[in-house]
A = this chain, B = another copy of it.
Amino acid sequence: MASPLTTLPRPTFAAPGAGSAGSPLREHYDAVRRQTEHLCAPLQTEDYVVSSMPDVSPTKWHLAHTSWFFETFVLATHDASYRSPDERYAFLFNSYYVQAGERHCRAQRGLVTRPTVEQVFAYRAHVDAAMRRLIDRVGDDRAHPAHPLITLGLHHEQQHQELLLQDIKHVFWTNPMRPTYRERTPTPQRVTESRWHAVEEGVHRIGTDGEGFAYDNEGPSHRVFVEPFRLATRLVTNGEYLAFMEDGGYQHPELWLSAGLATVQEHGWASPMYWERTDEGWTEFTLAGTAPVDLSAPVCHVSYYEADAYARWAGHRLPTEAEWEVAARGVRIEGPFVEAERYHPSPASVSAEGLSQLYGDVWQWTSSAYVAYPGFVAAPGAIGEYNGKWMADQWVLRGASCATPRSHARLTYRNFFPSDARWQFGGIRLASGA
């Protein structure tokens, strides 16, 4: 264990609010990069290494890949003097950008013990130094072509902050020791009654209007006709979902898509992911360890199949993404997100009026398949692979979750997962005909 690197200090995991000198872009950069490392503070070295299923990447990989992104899409073009600390990193930490060169097999990400965690942090520091030099050089020039790429890189990194949390949760779950990420003291709340928010029929414009940052898949802005509909003012709770379970929801074929029923039977699903039945009732594994299921909190870690079956059981349906966006337009994004150390969906507060829990609790499955908006064309080159090439066999989720950085949430965000994915923070909001 006499590694030369063990004498190097790990990052201090400073809180993201810590001071940063310079341009707004520099402050943005520093805050986001610090926050990623801050999320690692509770981890042991061993925790960074493993991948508990093919969908899950090691923490170490998230830390490195987000740095590779800046290296590849910003520094390679805008800093001729930049040198990578190890040329093999480009191979190891490219996720899926075919046009950016050969890459390591995703299934083997969890088998790579070197570079060590220390070396990965050193890699981050190396990239940070170069990025800060670049930002200090171009930071005030908003027209500089590096600007949008740096901003994209920061949103990319925020997306990985959520992935890091949902992945480490699964790593801990896989371990019979069931480690705890961070302690918390739950504060039970009374949940408000769900009401319907009605929207008139009409032609609406959805998608990004070009103000503020958005991914390419959120545009172009375009018109849709929406028949009259109603959207539930809050999310479906664990208590409501438990009623579905106790009514034999998982056993009634007529409630399920065919592939959903096959998945339920193949995996023996009988509850949301992370739930376990004990002698004292249902428990839920969380980033704070195992706890009794909070019946007032939104149900989380359900697949599209389960969301769809629940909605059918309830006599309603899931909203389309257009319905969600039309209804949510104008609602302010607020509340304590990841920066404030919350990683658990919470009950709708008693004072909630109008639509609540849109952002900050769970992503909400829609009945819209993830396909291109009319007129969408992916950007040329490797960066165009970010979103476009995934437009098959996935569903759009809207809103944001308790693990989403607040500054990363927005009205037009199109998150997407396949029908059977459950390890992300995904839940249910009902819709209904007019």
A residues near B (Cβ < 8 Å) are 1-3, 10, 13, 40-41, 43-52, 60, 86, 88, 91-92, 96, 98-99, 104, 108, 110-117, 171, 174-177, 179, 201, 203, 222-225, 227, 229, 253-254, 256-261, 304-305, 317, 320, 367-369, 371-372, 374-375, 378, 380, 384-385, 389-393, 418-419, 433
Known pairs A50-B50, A374-B433. 4 more at Cβ < 8 A?
Answer: A110-B111, A260-B392, A304-B392, A393-B393
What CA separation (Å) do A229 and B113 show in the bound complex?
Answer: 48
Contact of A367 among B1, B88, B372 (CB under 8 A): B372
Known contacts: A1-B45, A49-B50, A49-B113. The answer to whether A393 contacts B259 by CB under 8 A is yes
The 6 closest A-B pairs by CB, nearest first: A369-B369, A225-B225, A46-B113, A98-B253, A258-B389, A393-B393
Closest to A308 in B: B392
What CA separation (Å) do A98 and B88 show in the bound complex?
Answer: 43
Q: Which residues of B sit under 8 angstroms from A385, Cβ to Cβ?
A: 253-254, 258
Q: Which residues of B sit under 8 angstroms from A371, Cβ to Cβ?
A: 367-369
Q: Check A390–B258 contact: CB distance below 8 A.
A: yes
Q: Check B46–A45 contact: CB distance below 8 A.
A: yes
Q: Check B375–A113 contact: CB distance below 8 A.
A: no
Q: Check B115–A177 contact: CB distance below 8 A.
A: yes
Q: Which residues of B sit under 8 angstroms from A44, Cβ to Cβ?
A: 1, 3, 113-114, 116
Q: Check A114–B1 contact: CB distance below 8 A.
A: no
Known contacts: A96-B258, A179-B114. The answer to whether A225 contacts B223 by CB under 8 A is yes
Contact of A50 among B86, B110, B393 (CB under 8 A): B110
Q: Check B227–A175 contact: CB distance below 8 A.
A: no
Q: Which residues of B sit under 8 angstroms from A203, Cβ to Cβ?
A: 203, 225
What CA separation (Å) do A86 and B49 show in the bound complex?
Answer: 23
Contact of A222 among B227, B254, B260, B368 (CB under 8 A): B227
What CA separation (Å) do A224 and B224 show in the bound complex?
Answer: 7
Closest to A394 in B: B393
Q: Check B174–A111 contact: CB distance below 8 A.
A: yes
Closest to A86 in B: B177
Q: Which residues of B sit under 8 angstroms from A369, Cβ to Cβ?
A: 369, 371
Q: Check B391–A257 contact: CB distance below 8 A.
A: yes
What CA separation (Å) do A384 and B367 show in the bound complex?
Answer: 19
Q: Check A111–B50 contact: CB distance below 8 A.
A: yes
What CA separation (Å) do A3 and B43 show in the bound complex?
Answer: 8
What CA separation (Å) do A326 and B345 show in the bound complex?
Answer: 44
What CA separation (Å) do A179 and B114 show in the bound complex?
Answer: 7
Q: Which residues of B sit under 8 angstroms from A227, Cβ to Cβ?
A: 222-223, 374-375
Known contacts: A1-B41, A113-B50, A171-B113. The answer to whether A176 contacts B104 by CB under 8 A is yes
Q: Which residues of B sit under 8 angstroms from A46, Cβ to Cβ?
A: 45-46, 48-49, 60, 113-114, 116-117
What CA separation (Å) do A44 and B49 show in the bound complex?
Answer: 12
Q: Which residues of B sit under 8 angstroms from A367, Cβ to Cβ?
A: 371-372
